[in-house]
Amino acid sequence: MKTALTIAGSDSSGGAGIQADIKTMMANGVYAMSAITAMTAQNTTGVTAIMNATPEFLKEELDEVFTDIFPDAVKIGMVSDSSLIRVISERLRHYRPAYIVVDPVMVATSGARLISEDAIVTLKQELLPLSTILTPNIPEAEVLSKMPIRSEDEMVAAAACISDRYHCAVLCKGGHKVSDANDLLYRDNSFRWFRGKRINNPNTHGTGCTLSSAIAANLAKGFGLDLSVQRAKDYISGALSAMLDLGHGSGPMNHAYCFTGTYMEDAHFQKEQEEAGHEQTDK
């Protein structure tokens, strides 16, 4: 079984962060592990308290995972402290996992900054250059590119700027009144749109965590980057379409809506199925 590691904060309500990552990775057919950067007291209506891990403890978490069950892919979510970012980047340089998916959580949907300017600087210098793919939303892409994004053309320009600067692929997520439900993958000086249909569901807590974790899971299973993004986008669309309605605020998605079936498949299994189909056709 393929494996994936999430490095992120804990969400006590289970809709985002470590909890959403683990649910997503399991639903997408990989064994999930975690290194917790912070404890949060939160529910669907908001966050009331945050307690960061110490850099020393985070290093121990990472070492214990990498030296026993080496992850096939790593996903990194919100890390709000510069010292923690430095620990993560140093350990990743040491262990060199094959795939690193970074969800650069900096700006909330409301527009509120979630990490300090100092931590953003450290994130840019230490962690983003190690990434296989970044998954910013529109406000985060604006911060990383230092460009306004008000149209699809500006999405392309900002993604190109980020990709060139950090030498990685960039999945610029639509929404925020720009290319709603359409995501842009930019890499190797070319781009591709992943078009989607807006799902009328107000319960979207943890969508960013879920998408990046699903991409990491599919990379771990051997799918290429484009197909990993497509499968992740299809999975999250299904989770939103399940219309789970919990809590008094923006509730979580149903990560287990398709706990067996197509999202559990790995690339090798899919290839075998395609070959079997061709053999039947030939007969």
Show which residues are catalytic: 173, 204, 206-209
Sequence-distant (≥ 6) Cβ neighbours of residue 171 within 8 angstroms: 133, 134, 135, 136, 183, 184, 185, 186, 215, 229
129, amino acid identity: P
Q: Indicate the pairing of strand 73-76 with strand 100-102.
A: parallel
* Token couple for 219: 């990379």
Q: Indicate the pairing of strand 169-172 with strand 183-187.
A: antiparallel
245, amino acid identity: D
CA distance 138 to 123: 17
Compute the half-sphere exposure of residue 209: CA atoms within 13 Å on the CB side of its CA.
Answer: 29
Q: Is 181 left (phi over 0), alpha (psi -120 to 50) or beta?
A: left
Q: DSSP assignment of 138-199, as one string?
A: HHHHHHHHT----SHHHHHHHHHHHHHHHTSEEEE--BTTBSTT-EEEEETTEEEEE--PPP
69 phi, psi to nearest 5 deg? -120, 90
Rounded to a whole number, what is the distance in angstroms from the first to the last CA of the chain?
A: 33
* Token couple for 166: 């950090």
CA angle 118, 136, 113 (to 5 degrees): 40
